[in-house]
A and B are shown apart, each in its own frame.
Chain A
C-alpha cells in the first residue's frame, strides 16, 4: 500500500473533514509553504507595528510629572484599522474553536462563520474610528514639546527626533549598530524605509488584490453563469482592460485622480480597478464549467431562485482558483507598485523608490542591496505560497 492510498484510507476512516481543513493539512506538510507563510506573517506584523519600531514620535513621554503615550494620539485611523485587521486575522483559529460546535450543529462552515464575525467586527470598529476620531497631525509634536522633559522612550530606530543629531552628517553611512542597514542620501535610516516600504507593499498587496478579486468574482460569475450575450459583452469589456498595457492605463488614470487623494490610496485604487481581469477570467471559466454540472440542474429543477443558486451553490464551488490567483496576484500588484515608484510616478514610501536611489549611487551597496533583497524575498514568499496552495487544491490548475 503506497503512501497516497494510505492517506485516502485514513481520510475515509476518520471523522468527516471540511475542504479547507484538507487543503490546510496538505499545506502543513510542505516546509516551503510553512516558511513562506511565516515570512509573510512576520513582514505583515512588522509593517503594522512599524511606528513602534522606527519613527520620530515618542512612545512614552514624561513632562511636568505627568506621563503620556504620544504615539497613541498620533497613529492614524488607517494604522489602527490595519493593526486590528492583523490581530483579527491571527485570532481567526481561536474564534473558530469557539464557533465550531454551534456551526456544526447548524450545518454551516465554521470557517465562514468565524471570517464573517471578524469581518463584521473590523468593519464596525473601522467605520466608527473614521467617523469619530481625528488623529493629531504628525510633527505637531515638536511644537508642543518643552525643555523640561523628564524622560522619554523613543522607538529603537529614531530617525529625526534627536535635536543634537545631525542627519546630514550621517548620510551614506554603511551599516552600524545605530543604523543596522546603513543610511541613505539624506541621512535616512534604511531599515526604517524598508519597514515603511513594507506597509505600502502590504497595503497594495492585500487591498488592491481584494478590490480586483471582488470585481473579478462578481463579473466573472455573472459572465460565466449566464453565458451567451452577457458573456459576450462582459468579455469585450474585460478585453479592453486586458489589452491596454497596465502601466500605461495606470499612468493615465493616475493623472485623472485629484491631487487631494493620498498617493497610496490612489495607487491602491488604480491597481485594484485595473487588475480584475485575471480573476474575472478564472471565475468565468469555472462557472462555464459549473453551470453544466448535475447539481446545478438539480437545484434549478427544485425551483431555487437564481440569486440563491449563484450565491450558495455555483460561486462557492468556483472560488478555489481565485485564492491561488490572488496569491500570485499579490506578488504581481506589489511588482506594479514597485515599478511605479521606481519610475518616480507616485510618491509613496516604497522599496521601488529605494532601488532607484540605490541605482544612482551603486557604491552604497546597502541601499540597493537591502531593497533588492526584501523585494525578492517578499515576492518569492508569495509565489511559493500561492504555488503550494495550488498544488494542495488541484495541481492541474492552469494559473
Chain B
C-alpha cells in the first residue's frame, strides 16, 4: 500500500507538469498581445514608442519575453523579408516558430523556478490601487465559496441518489423503475444553462414568476453585521438555485449507476444464499446488497468531482458567484497567464488528490482490494 501510494504521488508530478505546460503553451501561442491591450486599457492610446517600452518592461516583469535570435540571424544573412524569395520566407517562418518554442520553454522553465520559490507572479486583470493582485491570494479567497457550493451539492447528490437507485432496483421493471429512469435521463438531458435560465426566470427576483430567490452572489449586501444564524440562513437562501443546478445532473448519473450496481449485487450468489437461509428481504437489501453497492458509488462520486468543479464554472457564471470557476473563466478570457497557471496548478492538484483519496477509500471500504 505504501509503495503504491508513493508511486501514485510520483506519477502526479508528470501529469501536473503536463497540465500546466499545455496551458502555458496554448496561451503563449495566442496571437494578439495581452500586455499591450492591458496597458491600453489603463492609460488609453499612447505614443507607440512609449507603449513599446512599457510593454517590454512589463514583459520582463511577467516573464513573457519573446525571442528573435534565429529570425534576426536570418534577416541579417538574407536581407529584409519583404524582397526575399519563397525559400527565404519559409526559412524565416521556421526561424520564427523555433524562436517561439524557445520562448515558451524558457518562459515555462522560469515559471517553474518561481513556483519552486512560492512566487505565483502577478495578475494582469485583477488590480487594485496598490498594484497587481497575487494569484494565490485571489484563489485562496475564492476557495471557500466554490467549496461550499460543491460540498452541499455532493452531499445532496449522495443522499438523494441512493434511495432513488434503491427503489428503482427493488421494483425492477415496474412503473417506479421505468418512471424514475425516464425522469433521470430527462434531467441528464437538461444543460445547466437551460436549468439556470428557467430557474432564474421563474423563481428568481425580477423574473416572471415568484420572487423567491436572489439572482446573484452568495450574500445580501451588508451581511457582515449579521449574527451566525442569520448569516447561515442568508447563505442557504442564496445557494438554493446554484446548488439545484449543480445537483440534478450528477444525481441522475449516480442514481442510474446505483441501480445498476444494486441489481448486479441482488443477482449475486451471496444474496441467493441469504434468501435460502431465510433472511428477511429488508435485511438482505439493506445489510448485504446495499453495502456492497455503495463501494462503486463512492468511486464514481470521486471520479465525477472534476466534472462537478468544471460544472461550477457555468453555474458561477450564470449566478455571478465570485468563486474559483468564475476566476478561471475570467483569467482565460483575459489571457491572465499567472492567474490561469496558478488556478490550473491548484485545480489539477485537487483533482489528482481526490482520485488518490478515492482509491484509498475504496481499499479501506473493501478489504478484498489490495494495491501492490
Residues B192 and A251 in contact, CB atoms below 8 Å apart: no
Residues A338 and B193 in contact, CB atoms below 8 Å apart: yes
Pick from A245, A362, A396: contact of B264, CB below 8 A.
A396
Pick from B191, B309, B340, B348: contact of A335, CB below 8 A.
B191
Pick from B11, B190, B200, B201: contact of A379, CB below 8 A.
B190
Known: A240-B22, A244-B22, A248-B332. A380 touches B260 (CB 8 A): no
Pick from A255, A338, A343, A387: contact of B185, CB below 8 A.
A387
Is B126 in contact with chain A by the CB < 8 A criterion? no
Is A19 in contact with chain B by the CB < 8 A criterion? no
Is A28 in contact with chain B by the CB < 8 A criterion? no
Is A175 in contact with chain B by the CB < 8 A criterion? no
Task: Note all chain A residues with C-beta closer than 8 A to B185.
Answer: 380, 383-384, 387
- Bound Cα distance from A248 to B324, whole angstroms: 12
Q: What's the least CB distance linking B254 to chain A, in Å?
A: 13
Pick from A244, A362, A372: contact of B194, CB below 8 A.
A372
Is B227 in contact with chain A by the CB < 8 A criterion? no
Interface string of B321-337 (1 = CB under 8 A from A): 00000001100110100
Residues A251 and B30 in contact, CB atoms below 8 Å apart: no
Residues B30 and A252 in contact, CB atoms below 8 Å apart: yes
Residues B208 and A362 in contact, CB atoms below 8 Å apart: yes
Task: Note all chain B residues with C-beta closer than 8 A to A355.
Answer: 193-194, 197
Residues 240-269 of A contacting B (Cβ, < 8 Å): 240-249, 251-253, 255-256, 258
- Bound Cα distance from A161 to B265, whole angstroms: 64
Interface string of B167-178 (1 = CB under 8 A from A): 000000000000
Residues B27 and A243 in contact, CB atoms below 8 Å apart: no
Pick from B18, B313, B335, B340: contact of A236, CB below 8 A.
B18
Task: Note all chain A residues with C-beta closer than 8 A to B314.
Answer: 247, 339, 343
Is A376 in contact with chain B by the CB < 8 A criterion? yes
Residues B194 and A376 in contact, CB atoms below 8 Å apart: yes
Task: Note all chain B residues with C-beta closer than 8 A to A379.
Answer: 189-191
Interface SS majority for chain A: helix
- Bound Cα distance from A379 to B185, whole angstroms: 10
Q: What's the least CB distance linking A106 to chain B, in Å?
A: 40
Is A398 in contact with chain B by the CB < 8 A criterion? yes
Interface size (B, Cβ < 8 Å)?
48
Task: Note all chain B residues with C-beta closer than 8 A to A248.
Answer: 313, 328-329, 332, 340, 344
Is B109 in contact with chain A by the CB < 8 A criterion? no
Pick from A253, A338, A339, A359: contact of B200, CB below 8 A.
A359
Task: Note all chain A residues with C-beta closer than 8 A to B351.
Answer: 243
- Bound Cα distance from A345 to B333, whole angstroms: 9
Task: Note all chain A residues with C-beta closer than 8 A to B260.
Answer: 396, 398
Is A239 in contact with chain B by the CB < 8 A criterion? yes
Pick from A252, A345, A352, A396: contact of B340, CB below 8 A.
A252
Is A116 in contact with chain B by the CB < 8 A criterion? no
Task: Note all chain B residues with C-beta closer than 8 A to A258.
Answer: 31
- Bound Cα distance from A108 to B29, whole angstroms: 48
- Bound Cα distance from A380 to B187, whole angstroms: 9
Is B85 in contact with chain A by the CB < 8 A criterion? no
Task: Note all chain B residues with C-beta closer than 8 A to A144.
Answer: none
Residues 337-380 of A contacting B (Cβ, < 8 Å): 338-339, 342-343, 345, 352, 355, 358-359, 362-363, 365, 368, 372, 375-376, 379-380
Residues B306 and A242 in contact, CB atoms below 8 Å apart: yes
Is A27 in contact with chain B by the CB < 8 A criterion? no
Q: What's the least CB distance linking A168 to chain B, in Å?
A: 25
**Among A237, A247, A252, A342: residue with most chain B CB under 10 A:** A252
Is A287 in contact with chain B by the CB < 8 A criterion? no
Pick from B197, B207, B347: contact of A245, CB below 8 A.
B347
Is B188 in contact with chain A by the CB < 8 A criterion? yes
- Bound Cα distance from A359 to B310, whole angstroms: 22
Is B19 in contact with chain A by the CB < 8 A criterion? yes
Task: Note all chain A residues with C-beta closer than 8 A to B332.
Answer: 248, 251-252, 255
Contact size class for A?
Answer: 35 or more
Is A322 in contact with chain B by the CB < 8 A criterion? no
Q: What's the least CB distance linking A377 to chain B, in Å?
A: 9
**Among A245, A251, A256, A343: residue with most chain B CB under 10 A:** A245
Residues A383 and B188 in contact, CB atoms below 8 Å apart: yes
Task: Note all chain B residues with C-beta closer than 8 A to A245.
Answer: 306, 309-310, 313, 328, 347
Task: Note all chain A residues with C-beta closer than 8 A to B302.
Answer: none
Task: Note all chain B residues with C-beta closer than 8 A to A241.
Answer: 22
Is B136 in contact with chain A by the CB < 8 A criterion? no
Task: Note all chain A residues with C-beta closer than 8 A to B335.
Answer: 255
- Bound Cα distance from A355 to B201, whole angstroms: 11
Is A44 in contact with chain B by the CB < 8 A criterion? no
Closest to A395 in B: B260
- Bound Cα distance from A399 to B65, whole angstroms: 46
Residues A236 and B14 in contact, CB atoms below 8 Å apart: yes
Is A331 in contact with chain B by the CB < 8 A criterion? yes
Residues A362 and B201 in contact, CB atoms below 8 Å apart: yes
Task: Note all chain B residues with C-beta closer than 8 A to A251.
Answer: 329, 332-333
Closest to A242 in B: B306
Is B50 in contact with chain A by the CB < 8 A criterion? no
Is B26 in contact with chain A by the CB < 8 A criterion? yes
Residues A246 and B310 in contact, CB atoms below 8 Å apart: yes
Interface string of B196-217 (1 = CB under 8 A from A): 0110110000011000000000
Residues A252 and B310 in contact, CB atoms below 8 Å apart: no
Pick from B197, B306, B333: contact of A358, CB below 8 A.
B197
Closest to A375 in B: B194
Task: Note all chain B residues with C-beta closer than 8 A to A380.
Answer: 185-186, 189
Q: What's the least CB distance linking A252 to chain B, in Å?
A: 5
Q: What's the least CB distance linking B106 to chain A, in Å?
A: 19
Known: A245-B309, A247-B310, A368-B197. A252 touches B26 (CB 8 A): yes
Residues A376 and B190 in contact, CB atoms below 8 Å apart: yes
Interface string of B77-102 (1 = CB under 8 A from A): 00000000000000000000000000
Could you give 15 example pairs across A and B, Cβ below 8 Å? A239-B15, A239-B19, A240-B22, A252-B23, A252-B26, A256-B30, A258-B31, A331-B189, A335-B191, A339-B314, A343-B329, A355-B197, A358-B197, A368-B198, A376-B190
Known: A243-B351, A339-B192. 6 other contacts (CB 8 A): A239-B18, A243-B19, A248-B340, A375-B194, A383-B189, A384-B185
B→A interface (CB under 8 Å): 11, 14-15, 18-19, 22-23, 26-27, 29-32, 185-186, 188-194, 197-198, 200-201, 207-208, 257, 260, 264, 306, 309-310, 313-314, 317, 328-329, 332-333, 335, 340, 344, 347-348, 351-352
